[in-house]
Structure 1
Amino acid sequence: MKPVLTPAEAAILDRETQARGIDAASLMERAGRQVARAATAVAGGFSGRRAVVVCGKGNNGGDGLVAARHLRRWGIRTTVVMMQPPEAFGEPAATNFLRLGQTDVRVRPFSPDTLARELARSDVAVDAMFGTGFRGSPEGDWERAIAGLNDWGGPVVAVDIPSGVNGETGAVKGVAVTADVTVTFGAAKIGIVLLPGALHAGLVEVVDIGFPADLLRADVWLSEGEDVAAVLPVRPPDTHKRDAGVVVVIGGSRSMTGAVSLMGEAAYRAGAGLVSVAVPEGILPVVQAALRETTFIPLPATDAGTVAGRIDRLDEVVRSADAVAIGPGMTTNEETAAFIRSFVRSCGRRPHPACRRVRPARRHHRGRGRRRPRGPRPKARVRHPGHRPVEGEPNRDRLTGGPGSDQPHRRALPRHRGDGRRADGDDRRADRAGAGAHRRCDGRGLPPRDRRLARGKGERRGRHG
């Protein structure tokens, strides 16, 4: 993952780097050179090229002065347009302005006409007006300069962050430079990662200017492709599709066929081994054309083309599923809404784990007006006996087929205040105290045969501890 810095974190990084013996002048020199390199690439080379660098005050403007010096040294005719008089510069930007006087770089005070004239004959412009500490809305000459760069239409390279973008939030109040490339130093800044600032940044290029790697500390990190790949489980070559998880998606209507198609595709991309999509029979050909691997269940349709009700085939498939998604594109049709409510209610009476995911396990105190015992809410996961892992075997993720926790599988028992159980579950007295709750958890909502099995196990644990 890559760190993303706030303005405060970037300032701390600057100070701690200088405390290590890397002075601000060295950092500015490296930053300006990297900006000049990017501007040269955008301009398409050196020969016969012209550049305009629009400089504000502070370190951002100093980076622009260094970039102008390097551009001229490499053969690009360069003009610096100053937004404020040179006296406004502090160190090390003031020293770099004096060094610029030793070259033939032209320096012009800002006016809208001057900027428009210089841009008209340039191949690239560098925005070095505001840095990551900018807040609010540009006004006066600053606003006119930003508008001039945007109206020009040529390629713009921004220094660290496009001028006018809030470095803390990415917000844009008023106008902001729309850059083609943003050269940022050490790490990306949050203002060019969040919208709408990201839309103004163009291609973001993070460059190294000498910050020690151990000083790059951030609260926000940007995930990359390899980060996501690292958390995906590796399936054995002989894995069966049902071992990787079975997902049922119920949805769609005549006017909304895309949502259910996207969800079916997403289930496969998330790692499911088998996906079944149940849609109104009238849109089945459309959804089939969008999904190639999926199995399908046509459902009765209303006159409006929405789901009218369930069929035995749907119940059969849902019973063997590991997860069920219901709702995408189903509209607010009254008959369809009644079907959804009926389906979700029925899940509370079904033994398969899919419906347990649709509706969380019920509270043990079911009577109206009865208060739940104080303390954390009970947590229970009820699984069909056919899907229950063997005690002591490593837990596995049923959707992805990959390994889960390295701890042996244990049923999560509800925790009530005063039940005497320890957190690690090793107290035999605790097991005896929790046997009743265990029995209720396993038996509720199961068919008679499975209820007897579940209750029998709970009773044995209650007697023998």
Structure 2
Amino acid sequence: MRTVRAAERELMARLPRGALMRRAAAGLAAACAGLLGRTYGTRVVLLVGSGDNGGDALFAGAHLARRGAGVTAVLLNPEKAHEAGLAALRAAGGRAVAAPSSVVEGVPADLPALIRRADLVVDGIVGIGGRGGLRPDAVEVLRVVQEAGVPVVAVDLPSGVDADTGEVHGVAVRAAATVTFGAYKPGLLIDPAREHAGAVRLIDIGLGPYLEAAEPPVRAPRHADVAALLPRPAAESDKYRRGVTGIAAGSARYPGAAVLAVAGALRGGAGAVRYAGPATDVVIARFPETLVSAGSPTEAGRAQAWVVGPGLGDGPRAAETVREVLALDVPVLVDADGLRLMDAERVRERTAPTVLTPHAGEAAALLGTARGEVEAARLASVRELARRYRATVLLKGSTTLVAEPDEDRPVRVNPTGTGWLATAGSGDVLSGLIGSLLAAGLAAPDAAMAGAYLHGLAGRLAAPLASALDVAEALRRVWEDVTDGTRRAPRPVPPTRRATGRDVAERGPGTT
């Protein structure tokens, strides 16, 4: 978060003292009022830490108190509470108590009863500077909030999550909504922290001009970003100029993987698709336009990019197929069984672009660690994979991340993911889709990110209870939605998935 902190310092130097905090607090108060539906007569509890995050909560509480809400601030560190914010709250008719059992202003801090009566809790315990988990007193307060079941609005980001990495160390706030200021923080976009954020609302406090000059550590694309990447055929285009995608996938045991990878490539704009493998009969039966070959990939004909791995299994030809494809001097995407069968040194030695698309379990195997460690530190894991294999890596999962071998380049976060994509064969469709974008000439990181973005939208559009082929068929519609500029919203994410992904996808963070 060095970029955001530096921008805040530069802007604060140009503004009257406290002006930036008051901007943030006004936006926070408006968001809280919107969630409450009405302000007059409601009860709001502020959980206030010692930093500026607590100051934001106190000033927002003053706004709400002036509009008729009963506002109580629970001070976790009374001696270090933001003085101006506390004075503003008291002047507006709010009150303050110390947590968990002392007395301030003659008001006993009966925390459980106080929180049970609340309509809304505002989390201002720690902000983007917080590191390494919460103190025991904060953990106890959060336990009371959780037991009461009162909705929580987090200030800037949920207390207890790592703003820079999305990691969660110990207990952290689980918010119904997060109101963040100036820019989306990586921890709001990357799981496991993202699942703690709820619906995310960005408040513009004027940081934009001060953020533009710096390269952010994380980027999340918008419709316009992806639309600018997607290939469009010119008048003189033919199927070869549009890009031929090679697919080396499937086996006698897993013929469907070949069908799904081909489907993703065909619906991803490929001029033609060449299939090489043992599933020629089922591929040609489902997609008669496919150019099929029962031989090796080197015998199938020329392609501008290859996808290898889905459904190859453990047969005698599987490892040889991976070896042959990696030896080709064209962009290659390796997925599924290909990740297990590939030779790491051969991948590192390649001069043409390589894209690896593991899920957390496959990533753990590639890194020699446990799956849980990958899921707990997704950002660090995808960066290490890209560095170690000198490849573009797309780490699939609850939040899909794309990292480049160049460690100075930002990691890209896909904001369109949905739990409805957790269905057999969905990853095979994604592989074919990205392969078609590679064949069309997109750079490996661009192809991976654009593919993940479209795939997520297709999963939403096809939901609920969609099969992988349904997702592939939906790609035609979302391609049109992204490129025609109308931004028609796909079917909303079900409530169990929360609104974070859609919220970012539709409004778009651009940079964090």
TM-score, structure 2 normalization: 0.57
CA contact (8 A) 2:153 2:177 kept: yes
- In structure 2, the partner of 1:100 is 89
In the superposition, relative to structure 1, how do residues 378 and 70 fare at CA in structure 2: closer, same or farther (>3 Å)?
Answer: closer
CA contact (8 A) 1:147 1:175 kept: no
- In structure 2, the partner of 1:181 is 177
Bigger relative contact order, structure 1 or 2 (CA pairs below 8 A, ≥6 apart): 2
- In structure 2, the partner of 1:324 is 306
- In structure 2, the partner of 1:454 is none
How many Å apart are 1:279 and its aligned residue?
5.0
1:129-186: per-residue Cα shift (whole Å, max 9, x none)?
0011111121321111223333333321111111011223222111000112211111
AA of the residue aligned to 2:308: I
CA distance in 2, matches of 1:378, 1:295: 28
- In structure 1, the partner of 2:150 is 154
- In structure 2, the partner of 1:264 is 262
SS at match of 1:182: strand
In the superposition, relative to structure 1, how do residues 157 and 24 fare at CA in structure 2: closer, same or farther (>3 Å)?
Answer: farther
- In structure 1, the partner of 2:368 is none
How many Å apart are 1:81 and its aligned residue?
1.5
CA distance in 1, matches of 2:91, 2:231: 61
CA contact (8 A) 1:250 1:279 kept: yes
In the superposition, relative to structure 1, how do residues 102 and 322 fare at CA in structure 2: closer, same or farther (>3 Å)?
Answer: closer
CA contact (8 A) 2:163 2:188 kept: yes
2:70 is the counterpart of 1:70:
no
AA of the residue aligned to 2:55: G
Indicate which of 221, 224, 236 corresponds to 1:223: 221
2:104 is the counterpart of 1:111:
no
- In structure 1, the partner of 2:46 is 53
AA of the residue aligned to 1:336: R
CA distance in 2, matches of 1:118, 1:250: 63
1:257-276: per-residue Cα shift (whole Å, max 9, x none)?
56434432443455321124
Q: How many residues align?
A: 334
SS at match of 1:138: coil
- In structure 2, the partner of 1:251 is 249
CA contact (8 A) 1:243 1:398 kept: no
AA of the residue aligned to 2:330: R
2:119 is the counterpart of 1:127:
no
How many Å apart are 1:215 and its aligned residue?
5.0
The runs of 5 or more residues in structure 1 that have no matched partner are: 1-5, 300-309, 349-354, 360-376, 381-396, 404-465
- In structure 2, the partner of 1:446 is none
CA distance in 1, matches of 2:156, 2:252: 49
How many Å apart are 1:288 and its aligned residue?
7.2
AA of the residue aligned to 1:155: P
CA contact (8 A) 2:40 2:67 kept: no
- In structure 2, the partner of 1:362 is none
Indicate which of 430, 440, 456 corresponds to 1:400: 440
SS at match of 2:110: helix
In the superposition, relative to structure 1, how do residues 248 and 158 fare at CA in structure 2: closer, same or farther (>3 Å)?
Answer: same
In the superposition, relative to structure 1, how do residues 215 and 251 fare at CA in structure 2: closer, same or farther (>3 Å)?
Answer: closer
CA distance in 2, matches of 1:144, 1:402: 51
How many Å apart are 1:32 and its aligned residue?
1.1
In the superposition, relative to structure 1, how do residues 252 and 106 fare at CA in structure 2: closer, same or farther (>3 Å)?
Answer: same
- In structure 2, the partner of 1:295 is 290
CA distance in 1, matches of 2:207, 2:441: 42
CA distance in 2, matches of 1:378, 1:166: 35
CA contact (8 A) 2:157 2:178 kept: yes
When Rg is computed on C-alpha atoms for both structures, the one with the higher figure is: 1
CA distance in 1, matches of 2:252, 2:67: 63
AA of the residue aligned to 1:253: S
Identity rate, percent: 34
> How big is the alpha-carbon RMSD for the aligned residues of Structure 1 and Structure 2?
3.5
- In structure 1, the partner of 2:13 is 19
The runs of 5 or more residues in structure 2 that have no matched partner are: 102-108, 333-348, 353-436, 444-512
